[in-house]
Chains A and B, each alone.
Chain A
Amino acid sequence: MELADAVALIMFIGVIAYAVFAGADFGSGIWDLGAGDAEQGGPTRRLVDHAIGPVWEANHVWLIFVLVFLWTGFPEAFGSIMSTLYVPFCFVALGIVFRGCGFAFRKFSDDLASARLFGTAFAAASLITPFFLGMVTGAIASGRVPGEGVGDRWTSWTGPTSWVGGALAVLTCAFLSAVFLAADAERLGHAELTERFRRRAMVMAIITGVAALAGVAPLRLDAPTLSDRLLGRGVVFMFGSAAAGLLSLWLLHRRQFHLARGAAVAAVVAVVAGWGVAQYPWVLVDEMTIAEAAGSSATLWGLLIAFGIAAVLVLPPLAYLFWLTDKSVLGTEFSAGE
């Protein structure tokens, strides 16, 4: 494996981690948005706070990880991406600001009106951020970000592939988090919320699967390079994702939430990995390969070493954080207030 490929692989592992962990956090915000008025939505919102409170900041760092790897390892690709996709990235940045601030502020607000205001900011931002990130993905995957110069700042990210990407990103987040929240609610012994999110997770599994299938048609027309490989060497990942999705559906049906969570994660990992495999060896599809975009090899080595350091210093405490959260050692005392 070439050095640049190794760095790209690590960067892509960051993309997958962000999709899974931050995806579940964004999805929780989406359910928060649809939880209804203050009276109906109270229990859901408590569950959301309980589930993502301790972990959302750490999960968010995967995005920084990916950005830093991109601009350090593949500086020219980063320049092109950010220049061309100025507008959607502005929306993503705003979404990140409103999501984080809204979430933190709601926790400490003292009356219903302000909690509602901050909660809406958090929840709405949780919807638009993955949507625009999905659109960005579509722009790159359909070859609309040029290697040299700047692509059209509007049409580059509004093509059919971008819409597919945006929609799939939102649906995936919602599916994943519904499974997570069902598992959390069950562990906390809240039957009604468990049932609610179990139902939602099953519906979302079906909708997301259908949408992914339906997305193939626009992809065939709009992103031939990607879809050729997706249906070629990437096809095993697509089937894997479908199988894992169906498995999670069956496990949800059987109320085996812990296992269903694993299957749902596998489904998302497989679909993102499939995209990565289909896109290889391009950083910018049809425009710039990993080798062409790669920065100096001394720096690439540095990145590999930095990743090694990170693996030693970050992964154990991260596992500890997840373990504490999962065992409900951390977090707000949960009561759905009913």
Chain B
Amino acid sequence: MLTSLVLASTESDLLAARNQMALTLGYHIIIACFGVAFPAMIFVAHRRAIRLNDDTYLELARRWSKVAAVLFAIGAVTGTVLSFEMGLLWPELMSTYGDVMGLAFALEGVSFFIEAIFIGIYLYGWDRLPPKLHSLMLVPIMMAGASGTFFVLSVNAWMNSPTGFDTITNAAGEIEVINVDPLAAIFNSAVGLQYVHMLLAAYMVVAFSVAATYAIGILRGRNDRHHRIGLLIPLAFACVVTPIQPAIGHFAGQRIADEQPIKLAAIEGLATTESEVPTIIGGYYDGEKVVGGIEIPIPGLASFLAQNSFDAEIVGLDAVPEEDRPPVNIVRTSFGIMVMIGTALVGLVAWFGWSWWRRRKRPESKWFLRAVALSGPAAVVALEAGWITTEVGRQPWVVNGLLRTEDAVTDAEWIWASFGVITAVYALITVAGISVLRSMTRRWRDGEKHLHTPYGPPEQLADAPQPVEVG
């Protein structure tokens, strides 16, 4: 009786903890993309401005850097919340495995340090540093963004493919970690593909989001050079990264087939181990099979995609006991959404690429602009769907096959409260952040070049001998 009571409350708290982690991680990952990929776009604009002595490019670089200042601040603080939560929500994970996977976090910390330093120099270096030197400050930011992504993804990949240690059960029946090899943990078998997949995703999210902003501007009648270039730079990035992504995703899927077959079984909705498995799009897994989906009329397509052979065997969910299976429909649906959006985005850049190749112009159709406007939010949805696929697909494990999420969670009793508070706070900073960004663009549209901070009443500001310039 007592046990069941304890378990019941734990289960609910576990749900709260998982929700809180999902919210804060899902939030930070969007902002983090901007920290990783936006500097590269600013760099292109800034360098072209210097080389061509072109004010439009310069204005874009300036404005983007100010937008980046707002986003980087949100990224820095939401990232810190995550490092707190590693201990607050999952103390058992950290106590047991902290010294196995921690080194990657330490190296990520080095990356973040470099990023923060050069962001400070770049954002506050406008009109202060020589232009060429100033623009070069973006290079370490880009490199640190890429290396930081690697180390964070390394930790996540390690949770999927834990390596670099052995375990023994001690006298008290607890699992003890021995023979730690931190380098083997960092360079685990999953990290390569997961890293490239995420790095490309970051560039896609930022490219399509920035492009969407300018597409909307053009659709609203602001079809000037500023908007056209603001659209072209991110689209150029999108053209480079988007077509590679499906291939990387495919290989990542093949790795899952080998190393996390149950995750793949959930993605396919495959109850029992079978060969010549077809690919079914959409539909709903009813506990035995997928119903209501569309089967692609190529026999054994899923087998081929997973194992390079049309009659290959794919492991079904029944290979493990029921309590070791992830919630199939969440994994399956989010995977489907990710692939669908990814495919559509490839189509979009193909449309753009074709037009550019033939006519050195973007497609003139309004539908193109509308599609680009939609691509920003779509890329974000695909990013989230991908993370849901991999994270929910690993359940019920936090460290695959070794530590259950329910065993890693804290036994604090007020997680629903902290989840509620954090939801409210994140909603608040989202509303505030959007309103600040909107007010910035409004003032830019009104022709303000430098944004003044209203430290005091307007009449007092009017008397100020020198205006305070920001950023």
A contact set with B: CB distance below 8 Å? 38-39, 41-43, 45-46, 49, 53-55, 57-58, 60-61, 63-65, 67-69, 71-73, 75-76, 78-83, 86, 89-90, 92-94, 96-101, 103-112, 114-115, 118, 150, 153, 295-296, 298-300, 302-303, 306, 309-310, 313-314, 317-318, 320-321, 324-325, 329-335, 337-338
Contact residue among B85, B114, B120, B467 (Cβ-Cβ distance under 8 Å from A314): B114
Given contacts A97-B81, A335-B465, 9 further A-B contacts (CB under 8 A): A57-B119, A65-B109, A80-B91, A96-B81, A101-B433, A153-B412, A299-B103, A329-B128, A330-B120
Q: Is B295 an interface residue (CB 8 A)?
A: no
Contacts of A330 in B (CB 8 A): 120-121, 124-125, 128
* Structural contact, A306 and B107, CB atoms closer than 8 A: yes
* Structural contact, B88 and A296, CB atoms closer than 8 A: no
A286 CA / B50 CA spacing, docked (Å): 61
* Structural contact, A78 and B81, CB atoms closer than 8 A: no
Query: Beyond A96-B77, A101-B77, A101-B433, is A310–B110 a contact (Cβ under 8 Å)?
Result: yes
Contact residue among B70, B110, B113, B468 (Cβ-Cβ distance under 8 Å from A105): B70
* Structural contact, B99 and A310, CB atoms closer than 8 A: no
Chain A residue nearest in CB terms to B104: A72
* Structural contact, A64 and B112, CB atoms closer than 8 A: yes
A13 CA / B99 CA spacing, docked (Å): 20
Chain B residue nearest in CB terms to A116: B454
**B192-200, B222-230, B387-395, B456-464: which lies at the interface:** B456-464
Contacts of B81 in A (CB 8 A): 93, 96-97
**Size class of the B contact interface (CB-based, 8 Å):** 35 or more
* Structural contact, A105 and B116, CB atoms closer than 8 A: no
Q: Which residue among B105, B113, B118, B414 has the maximum number of chain A CB atoms within 10 Å of its CB? A: B113
Contact residue among A49, A107, A296 (Cβ-Cβ distance under 8 Å from B69): A107
Q: Which residue among A64, A81, A111 has the maximum number of chain B CB atoms within 10 Å of its CB? A: A64
* Structural contact, B470 and A107, CB atoms closer than 8 A: yes
Query: Beyond A92-B84, A109-B454, A302-B182, is A57–B429 a contact (Cβ under 8 Å)?
Result: no
Query: Beyond A108-B453, A295-B180, is A303–B73 a contact (Cβ under 8 Å)?
Result: no
Contact residue among B116, B125, B178, B453 (Cβ-Cβ distance under 8 Å from A57): B116
Q: Mark B81-124, 1 if CB is under 8 A from A, else 0.
A: 10111111001101111111011011111101110111111011
- Shortest CB distance A167–B (Å): 23
* Structural contact, B103 and A306, CB atoms closer than 8 A: yes
Q: Is B421 an interface residue (CB 8 A)?
A: yes
* Structural contact, B460 and A39, CB atoms closer than 8 A: yes
Contact residue among B95, B118, B455 (Cβ-Cβ distance under 8 Å from A317): B118
A93 CA / B451 CA spacing, docked (Å): 30
* Structural contact, A107 and B453, CB atoms closer than 8 A: yes
Interface of chain B: mostly helix, strand, loop or mixed: helix
* Structural contact, A335 and B464, CB atoms closer than 8 A: yes
Contacts of B129 in A (CB 8 A): 329
* Structural contact, A324 and B94, CB atoms closer than 8 A: no
Q: Is B248 an interface residue (CB 8 A)?
A: no
* Structural contact, A75 and B99, CB atoms closer than 8 A: yes
A55 CA / B124 CA spacing, docked (Å): 10
Q: Is B440 an interface residue (CB 8 A)?
A: yes
Q: Is B169 an interface residue (CB 8 A)?
A: no
* Structural contact, A82 and B94, CB atoms closer than 8 A: yes
Query: Beyond A97-B78, A109-B453, is A303–B106 a contact (Cβ under 8 Å)?
Result: yes
Contacts of A101 in B (CB 8 A): 73-74, 77, 429, 432-433
Could you pull out 25 A-B pairs where Cβ atoms are within 8 angstroms? Answer: A39-B457, A41-B456, A43-B455, A55-B120, A67-B87, A68-B108, A71-B105, A73-B99, A78-B94, A90-B418, A93-B81, A109-B454, A118-B432, A153-B412, A298-B182, A299-B102, A299-B103, A309-B110, A314-B117, A329-B129, A330-B121, A332-B124, A332-B471, A337-B456, A337-B461
Contact residue among A46, A109, A320 (Cβ-Cβ distance under 8 Å from B439): A109
Q: Which residue among A107, A299, A331 has the maximum number of chain B CB atoms within 10 Å of its CB? A: A299
- Shortest CB distance B449–A (Å): 14
A83 CA / B458 CA spacing, docked (Å): 49
Chain B residue nearest in CB terms to A335: B466
Contacts of B454 in A (CB 8 A): 109-112, 115
Q: Is B243 an interface residue (CB 8 A)?
A: no
> Which 10 pairs of residues, A with B, have the shortest CB-CB distance?
A72-B102, A295-B99, A75-B98, A82-B87, A79-B95, A104-B73, A42-B456, A296-B180, A100-B77, A330-B124
* Structural contact, B94 and A46, CB atoms closer than 8 A: no
A100 CA / B432 CA spacing, docked (Å): 13
Query: Beyond A108-B439, A109-B439, is A58–B98 a contact (Cβ under 8 Å)?
Result: no
